[in-house]
Amino acid sequence: MYLAVQAVQQEGYGSIQLLCELAGIARSSYYKWLSRTPSRQERDNEKLMQEMLLLYEQVERIYGYRRLALHLRRQMNQPINAKRVYRLMKLQGIQSVIRRKRKTYAGSTPQQVAENLLNREFHAEAPNQKWVTDVTEFKYGSGKKAYLSAILDLHDKSIISYVLGHSNNNALVFETFELAVQAAPQSHPLLHSDRGFQYTSLKFKEMVDKAEMKQSMSRVGCCIDNGPMESFWGTLKCEKYYLHTYRTFEDLQKDVENYIHFYNNERLQAKLNGLSPIEFRTKAA
C-alpha cells in the first residue's frame, strides 16, 4: 500500500494527505515508512522495476508480464517470476497493447485446390518440414493500401521470406515463394495456405511442383487451419503497425522490415525455450 501511494504521488496525481486517506493509512505512518532503510527485497524490486520500465518503453509497450519476465530473466541473468512482474506492472499502472479484431474477406473461385494435409498439425520436428503462408493488408497515407506476403516455418516460427508490395497480386506471392526456395534450396516442405486466388492458381501449383513440395490448403471459412500465420499477422500489427500512423509506403516498409528482424532475432518466445526463432533454428541445425 505504501508503494502504491509513493508511485501515484510521484506521478503528481494528488497530495500525500489525500492519497493516504484514500489508502486508509495514517500520514505519519507513511512518512515513517518513507524514512526507513529499504529491505533487500524492496531494493531488488526497485531495480527490477526500473529494468522492466526501460524494456517496456524500448519495445513500445507491446510486452505483457509473461514476455517481460522472459526477457528480464535473460537480461538480468536471474530467475524472475512472471507473477512478480505482473504485480510490479499493476503497481505502475501499465499493460500491454490490446489486440484489434481481424477483418474478414470474401473468397474467390479457385482454379485448383489442395487437401488440408496440414490438418492443424502445427508442430514440426525440424526446420523446413512445414511452412505456412498468407497475405495481409496495411493502410497508409490517404486511404492507400499495401500488402505483405510472408512464409513462416512451423518448427521455429521464423519468417523465411516476405515481400511488401502495392498490389495483392500473383507477383507478390510468387516472389515470396521464390525467395523462400532460395533461402532453403535443398528443402521440400509441406506448404500450407488459405484458398486465396494466388495459391489456387495453376501457375503457383506449377511452382510448388517444380520445387518438389506438397501443397496444403485450409478448408473454406476455417482461418484457424492457418492459425500460426494468422497469429503472426496479429502480433506484427499489435506490436508495431497499430502503434503508428504511416504517411508513406517507405515509412511502412521500414517498420515492417525492422519488426521482422526484431521478431526473428530478438523477440524471445516461451514455447521456444526462451529463445528467439533464429536462435532456436540455429540450435536445431
Residue-level pLDDT, tens digit, the chain, 285 residues: 666 666 666 666 668 887 788 778 888 887 887 777 777 887 888 888 889 888 888 888 888 889 999 999 998 999 999 999 998 888 777 788 665 555 554 555 678 899 999 999 999 999 999 999 999 999 999 989 999 999 999 999 999 999 999 999 999 999 999 999 999 999 999 999 999 999 999 999 999 999 999 999 998 878 899 999 999 999 999 999 999 999 999 999 999 999 999 999 999 999 999 999 999 999 987
**d(C-alpha 155, C-alpha 162), whole Å:** 17
- CATH 3.30.420.10 residue spans of the chain: 130-284
pLDDT at 23: 76
Least Cα distance to 176 among 197, 190, 159 occurs for 159
b (16+ CB within 10 A) / e for 83-114 = ebbbebbeeeebebbeeeeeeeeeeeeeeeeb
DSSP type of residue 268: -
pLDDT at 100: 54
DSSP type of residue 269: B
Please report the sign of the dihedral spanned by the C-alpha atoms of residue 198, residue 199, residue 202, residue 203: positive
pLDDT at 56: 86
**d(C-alpha 248, C-alpha 234), whole Å:** 22
Rg of the chain over Cα atoms, rounded to whole angstroms, equals: 24
Does the pTM surpass 0.85? The reply is no
Provide the 10 A C-beta neighbour count for residue 279: 19
Rounded to whole angstroms, the maximal C-alpha distance in the chain is: 79
**CATH architecture of the region 130-284:** 2-Layer Sandwich (3.30)
pLDDT at 141: 93
Query: What cell was used for 123?
Result: 508442430
Instruction: Tell me how far CA of residue 263 lies from CA of 152, 181, 235, 240, 241, in angstroms.
Output: 12, 21, 9, 11, 14
pLDDT at 103: 54
pLDDT at 109: 67
pLDDT at 12: 65
Question: What DSSP string describes 213-244?
Answer: -EEEEPPTT-GGGGHHHHHHHHHHHHHTGGG-
Query: What cell was used for 149?
Result: 506476403
